[in-house]
Structure 1
Amino acid sequence: MTSAPMSGRKAQAARNDELILQSARAVFTADPGAPIAAVAEKAGVGISALYRRYPSKEALLQKLCGDGLKLYVAVAQQAMDDEGDPWEAFASYLRGIVDADTNSLTIKLAGTFQPTEELYHDAVRAGDLATRLHHRAVAAGVLRDDVTVADIALLFEQIASIKLGDEERTSQLRHRYLALVMDSLRVPPAHRDLPGPAPDDEELQVRWYPSR
């Protein structure tokens, strides 16, 4: 059964909401202290339209992080449901979380707003899935037993801090360094070709050029 198409007004509202959330993510991961007006400006919507959907900056941050947690849970649950090769299931979880980029929100927004009960609930669910995936991989003998769930969480944050060039290049580099990390996590240690070329000197140096 397919859902009925949205009316023109509802469809526009849905598009505006998605644009607001994309803009909020970009604005607040660049500067958590930015005013909510900066989000409206980037999204190209009136501040009153934004406030009708999100009555405060706190509500907008709660929504952003709530969506990020739900995405994390979905990725982890998909890996948990994979009963095939235990390493590949764990590796798909690692790659999926890097692609989802939920840790960029953690790095920038943790401690900047009051979590809701729903956020606490989703965080517990995410933590439970991460722990179960980790323990399953260790029990199967494919993951180092001296690496903890917290180690993996901080590795995700380190990889999320990589930002070089455009989105495509950033993603390529994140997967390059994830591959390096995964080879050191696996039992027995693996060695394979890394995805994407390493950054060159120009890519590293351009970060110091004043933006225009």
Structure 2
Amino acid sequence: MPPEAERALRADAARNVKRLLDAARAVFAEQGPGAPLEAIAERAGVGTRTLYRHFPHKEALVRTALRQTVTERLPPILYRTPDFDPRAAILVVMEAVLVIVERERTTLAAAANPAALTAEVIEPARGALADLTERAKAEGTMRADVTGDDVAHVLGLLANVQWVVPEGDGGWRRYLALVFDAFDPAASTPLPPAP
């Protein structure tokens, strides 16, 4: 196959993948997590064989759609955080992750194990949260017995609050404010040792 034809095929495949991912988000949002894959293929303007060639099962499609969203939306936030006060930056990162989870709620719900995928959404923020936590502790704006893992686990708990608050109302913001206060250095109850 001539190189030009091979490049055209690769470009066409990449376009199909993008259309399928965009269609998956739209169809899950409109029809719910039980939407048939055929509806996604139809929305993307491709055949079901093309969908299955790229995504052999629904879980692969859901994981890739979420990974794409996280890759597009989270890094710009993470790159800005070094310029912030570290405690404020932790809050910004937590909010950014929770907005992604809220926005992708129906896509997450289409997964066999939404909680595991929620952990994957949080994973790219773990390093930044650990660094910011240490900086905030050094500045005295974060309680000394909190670890970056604690912050990531709390973020996971808050992400799962999305399943019990009404969709799209930002109800998680109330719980974020309540829980974030527990990181204050003046918090009075000592924590048990970290595992």
TM-score, length-scaled by structure 1: 0.56
User: Structure 2 vs 1, CA of residues 143 and 26 (structure 1 numbering), >3 Å: closer, same or farther?
Assistant: farther
Q: Deviations over 1:95-142 (max 9, x none)?
A: 22211228965961638xxxxxxx9xx95x643222112211111111
Structure richer in helix, relative to its length: 2
Find the aligned partners of 1:108 and 1:27 in 2 and give their Cα distance.
17
Is the 2:37–2:58 Cα contact (8 Å) retained in structure 1? no
Which SS does the other structure have where 1:101 is aligned? helix
The change in CA–CA distance for 1:91 and 1:110 in structure 2 (over 3 A counts) is: closer
Out of 180, 183, 191, the position equivalent to 1:182 is: 180
Q: Aligned letter for 2:145?
A: D
Deviation at 1:175, TM superposition (A): 0.5
- Paired with 2:53 and 2:176, the residues of 1 have a C-alpha distance of 40
1:177 CA drift (Å): 0.7
Report the CA distance shift for 1:146/1:22 in structure 2 as closer, same or farther (over 3 A): farther
Match of 1:91 in 2: 91
User: For each residue in 1:79-98, what CA deviation from the matched residue of structure 2 results, as whole angstroms up to 9, or x when unmatched?
Assistant: 2x32x433222221222221
The worse-fitting range, judged by mean Cα deviation, of 138-147 and 152-161 is 152-161
Percent pairwise identity:
24
Q: Is the 8 A contact 2:143 2:185 kept in 1?
A: yes
Deviates more, 1:176-185 or 1:17-26: 17-26
Q: Secondary structure at the match of 1:131?
A: helix
Please give the alpha-carbon distance, in whole angstroms, between the structure 2 residues aligned to 1:38 and 1:53. Answer: 16
Structure 1 pair 148/93, CA: closer, same or farther in 2 (3 Å)? same
Deviates more, 1:87-96 or 1:125-134: 125-134
RMSD: 3.9
Shift of 1:149: 2.1
* Cα pair 1:19 1:43 within 8 Å, conserved: yes
Residues 155-170 of structure 1: pairs in structure 2 closer than 5 A: 155-161=154-160, 162-163=162-163, 164-167=165-168, 169=169
Aligned partners of 1:38, 1:52: CA distance in 2, in Å?
A: 16
Deviations 1:22-73 (A, max 9, x none): 5468999x5xxx6xx7243367545334224434445424413432552444
